[in-house]
Structures are given as C-alpha cells and as structure tokens.
Chain A
Amino acid sequence: MVSYWNSYLFIFLFLVLGLLLPIGALMVLGPLLRPKNPTPEKLTTYESGIEPFGEAHVRYNVRYYLFALMFVAFDVEIMFLYPWAVTFDSLGLFGLVEMLIFLGLLVLGLVYAWKKKVLEWK
C-alpha cells in the first residue's frame, strides 16, 4: 500500500514544485528584489513599440489548424524515432524495416496533404 502511494509521491512533488517555483519567483521574490519604477511605456503590452489593436479573441484562418495538425503528426513522429534510435542495435533488421514502414505511412500522409493542397496558402 505504502509503496503504491510512493510512486505517486514523485508526481505530487513535481506538482508542488511546479506550482511553487513560478509563484515564488514572480509573486514573492520578484517584487522584493526588483526596483519599482513604472512609466507609461513600460505598461504597454509590447514594449517594442507596436500598439496592440483589435480584440484578443480573433478568428484564425482554418488553415492554421491544418498546419498545426501536420506539425503535431511529425512532432510526435520524432518522439517515436528517439527511443527507436536508442535501442536500434537490439532491434535488428526488423526494427529498421518497421520504422521504414512507419515513416512511409507518415510520408504518405504528407503526400496526401500535399496533393490535397493543404500546404498551399491560398
């Protein structure tokens, strides 16, 4: 029972740390350490000089989502590739062929998107 909960203790610790660090840094330590000297320029959204316009809630073109989807697919692919590369030696020929099939299917997805003109911005 105890050992069972122990495995979750780490998660809990990470959670606490994850919450404490930003709170501690931004809300506790920050105000204590930094000089407080607000000027109108400093209070603008972007200090680079560009004035914000319009509302924050705008509609994005649906194509962004398509790009995002494509990105996610290939991003996740890397996650698969990494452990595969680490254990490559022990996986042997089969591992190589399997990964090639996997990549082939993904490439097919890319080709599909290409042919369906997802990659063109118009």
Chain B
Amino acid sequence: MNGINGVTQLAFSDVWRVMAPEILLVLGGFLILVLDLFMNKESSRRLSPQLGILFLIAAFVMTIRNFGLVSDQTAGGTGELLNLSNMLYVLDDFGNVFKLLFTAGTALVLLMSIDFFKQNPEVKVAEYTYLMLFATTGAMVMASSLDLITLFVGLELLSISSYVLVAMRRNHAKSAEGGMKYLVIGSIASAMALYGMSFLYGVTGQTNLAYGAQTVIQMWLQFKPLLTLAFLLMLIGFGVKVSLVPFHQWSPDTYEGAPNPVTAFLAVVSKAAGFALILRTFLWGFSGVFGDVYIYLVILAALTMVVGNVAALSQKNIKRLLAYSSVAQAGYLLLPLAVLGKGKSIDNIWLALGQTSFYLVAYLFMTMGAFAVLTVVTRQAGNETLEAFRGLWKRAPFLAVSMAVFVLSMAGMPLTAGFIGKFYIFLGTINTEMYWLGGLLFATSAIAFYYYFGVLKAMFLKDSAVQSHDKIQVPVSLTVTIAIGLIGTLALGIFPDLLMKFLNGLHWFGQ
C-alpha cells in the first residue's frame, strides 16, 4: 500500500471498507445542511431528525457489516489490521463496538428530540440534527484512529458540536450558561490534552500510537518524568470530557442547562467517546509501561466514585442528580482499565474491554430511558426537582415503573443490566486482586442506593404534589425510547450472556 516518498496510496475500496459508517454520517450531515440552506425559510424542517435517524441506522448496519470484515481479516492471518495510511485509521472490533454504541445512542437521542422540537419551536431543527451527526462522526474518529492528530481532530469535532448543542435554546439563560461553561472548561481540557500529546510526540518523534508505543517502551527509563507528564496531561484532558473528579465541575451545570436530549447525548455518547479515546490512547500508546502509570487511573477512579456519589446525595434537582450519578458512573467505567496495570496478562485486557463495553451498553439503555421519562415528568410538573416525581405511581404507573427500573439499574439492583455491569466490573477488580477498589465500588454503590431511593420514595410512597389528575400524555417517540430502554435494561439484566458472549468473541484490536 505504501507509495513512493512516504506518501501512502489510497484506494476507494479501502476507504469504503474502513470508514463506511463515518462516510455515511458525514454525507447525511451535509445533505441535511444543504437542504436546510436551500429550503424555503418558511417550509418545515421537522422531518430532519427522522432523516438523521435513517443515516444513523445505515451507519449502524455498516458497522455490523464491519464486524464481518474484521473477522475475515483476522481469519486471513496476516496479523495486520485493516487500516488506512499506515495505521492512521484502523478498523477493529474495538472501534466497531463503540460505533454501534454511538449510532444507537445518537439515534435514540434524535428520537427523543422529535418531541423536544415540538415543545421548543424556536430551536433550529436541521442545524441541531446535523450537528448531532457531525458530533457522532467525531466520536467515531475518536474510537478508530491511531494517530494523535486525527484523534484530536475527532475530539474537537465532537466537543465543538456539543458546545453548540448545549446552547441551542438561545432564549434560555441556563442553556447559554451551560454551553459557555462547557466551552471554557472543555477548551482548557483540549489544551491540556494537546500539550500532553506534544510531549509524547517530543519523546517518541511520531504521532502514531501504533508505532509510538515501541518508542515509549525504549525511552521509558530515560524520559520517565516527561512521559508521565504526557500521560497525565492527556489523562486530565480526557478526564474533563468524561468528567472524572476533580475535573467534573462543569458537568452538573451543563447537564442542567442543556436540553434533555442533549444532556442524554453528553451523558452517553460523549462519555462513551471519551472512554474510547482513553482506552485507545493508553492501551496502545502506554501498554508497555502501563504498570508504571496505572496508579493515577486508580486514584482518579476512586476519587470519582466517592465524590460523584457523595455529591449526588444532596441534590434536589433531578438533572443535577443524574449528572452527579453520571460522574460516579465514569468512576466505575474507569475501573476495568485502571486495574489492568496490576494484572498484566493479555487476557485481562480483553476482559476489561468487555467490562467497559458491557457497562456502557447497560448505561446507554438506562440513561436514555431515564431521560425520556424525565422529559415527560418535568414538563408536566413544570419544574425539575424531585418534587415533580411525587406520586408518579398514581398518575402514570408505566412511567413510574420504567423510571424505577432505570434508577434501580443505575443503583445496581439485581435483575437489571446495571447490576450485571457493576458485578462484572467488580469481578474484574477481584480477579486482579484490587480488593479495596472492589470494596470501594461496593460501598459507593451502597451510597448510590440511598439517593436513588429518594427518587423511588418520591414516586411510590408520596402523594402527588401536582393537584391535576390529568393523564400524562406521553408522545409516541418518547414511549418508544422508554420501551427500548426498558427492554434493554431488563433483557441484559436477565440474560446478560446475550451480549457477554458476543463481547467475549470479539477481536478487539484485531488479535
């Protein structure tokens, strides 16, 4: 594939093989953009989310096809990943799993948005939709590139789109505030990550993680402080994105200010993308020296679990509560990677990736569902406090039970996906003999039970604060979202092997 003078020759078929989902999403985004530009000002653009969902589904299907490509490639036995431009962009099951997550997550977000547009006519529908698609493309790049520069471009594509999405309700002070805060803190994060990358480049002389990893091992003894600094700066930069403590402070404000679907997007897709980036960068770039740096991940994971859960205790606003809970979840999600430093066997890497992915899928279902319920309930009550949920059981049993399932799943109640996810991560800490981390996971989950309990109590044990006994109208799009969340949460909770078997059989990094 290599051409002369270090210039790599590409072929259309290669690009299509490796990047089909990304290409589809970009095409979809630009199609909506062009339509939006050239359509009459007055004509309705309300079908754009549906169009966006169509493209996401197409990308989803393409990703599923890609699993086949990867297993064909590994069966071929060349030992080389399907890649573009000398490992600049790769196709492996790690990226595929995350792409499935991103496309499914964004599709659900757009589904929820249909109702959001009806309630907020001032929001520009088409703009919103293509920003979502571009953001998702950015997330995909973060999951599939092996080059620091391309990774960074993906990160920025996702981030900048997200900043705008958060501030989409222009007349809404909190929305603008949230967007502003996210922008400022996000920029600090990007700068830090970039600074860290520059150190990595400085020491290894290349931006490619696949080749850089070897140099990192060679240079480790000489440049330990410098490389550690690079690692930490990148960790901090990415840590802001996935809201690890103490880099989490933007998230409650931003989550609160953002429109509900965008909050769900940030909580699920953006966070998953951040983890894809973290796993990609550290497992490739630093895999050789992971035993020396994992302790910082452990520290941050522990801090995040504790602070996220403790801070959530005193929250009265349900969106802030979910924000802190999502901070806490970031801590759980970091655990499988963090404990890898101790157990060095390669088997543990695939196990850790399986744990993270499983939890992310579970998290996708429960978070999407919770936000859909939240949207309906807070709108009817006119506020976003826990009070809005009082007596929900009487007013809308279906909503109350669904919310109960989602909340219990987040808390880690057996028979729900969240339990299996946590349990799986927990076993990971046990397998690597990091008992105290497992204990911390368990203890913080116990705290979590307490505040999730507040939601349950409000729904089931209290009388409604809302006097009206009107039936709550649930729009079809939200009903579908809730149903998908419910089915996913329960199915994975009762038959986890459905997903687990699939994850266990993957060629994560094309091994």
Contact = CB atoms under 8 A, between A and B. Distances in A.
A and B touch in the complex (CB under 8 A): yes
Interface stretch (B9-17, B114-122, B144-152): B9-17
B222 interface: yes
B7 A90 contact: yes
15 contacts: A1-B222, A7-B205, A87-B7, A90-B4, A91-B3, A91-B9, A92-B9, A94-B10, A94-B11, A94-B12, A97-B12, A108-B30, A108-B33, A111-B37, A115-B38
A59 B10 CA distance: 48
A91 B7 contact: yes
Contacts of B222: 1
Given A111-B37, A112-B33, A90 B3 contact: yes
Question: Counting chain A CB atoms within 10 Å of each CB, which of B37, B38, B205, B222 scores highest?
Answer: B37
A87 B7 CA distance: 8
Interface in A11-56: none
A98 interface: yes
Query: 7 closest A-B pairs (Cβ-Cβ)?
Result: A115-B37, A87-B7, A94-B10, A90-B4, A90-B3, A90-B7, A108-B30
Could you tell me the dominant secondary structure of chain A's interface residues? helix
What class of interface size applies to chain A in its complex with B? 10 to 19
B2 to A, nearest CB: 11
Interface string B140-168: 00000000000000000000000000000
Given A87-B5, A91-B7, A105 B30 contact: yes
A7 B34 CA distance: 47
Contacts of A94: 9-12
B265 to A, nearest CB: 23
A112 B124 CA distance: 15
A94 B222 CA distance: 43
Nearest to A112: B37
Nearest to A97: B12
A98 B85 CA distance: 14
Interface of A: 1, 7, 87, 90-92, 94, 97-98, 105, 108, 111-112, 115
A82 to B, nearest CB: 14
Nearest to A1: B222
A91 B4 CA distance: 10
A13 to B, nearest CB: 17
Contacts of A87: 5, 7
A7 B30 CA distance: 43
B207 to A, nearest CB: 15
Given A92-B9, A112-B33, 4 more contacts: A90-B4, A90-B7, A108-B30, A111-B37
Interface string B283-302: 00000000000000000000
Contacts of A115: 37-38
A112 B60 CA distance: 28
Contacts of B5: 87, 90
A1 B37 CA distance: 56
A1 B12 CA distance: 42
A1 B203 CA distance: 11
Interface string B1-37: 0011101011110000000000000000010011001
A7 B33 CA distance: 46
A97 B13 CA distance: 13
Contacts of A92: 9
Contacts of A105: 30
Nearest to B10: A94
B149 to A, nearest CB: 13
Contacts of A7: 205
Given A1-B222, A94-B12, A108 B34 contact: yes
A61 B396 CA distance: 53
Nearest to B203: A4
Contacts of B7: 87, 90-91
A97 B9 CA distance: 13
A101 B318 CA distance: 45
A35 B241 CA distance: 60
Contacts of B12: 94, 97
Interface string B102-128: 000000000000000000000000000
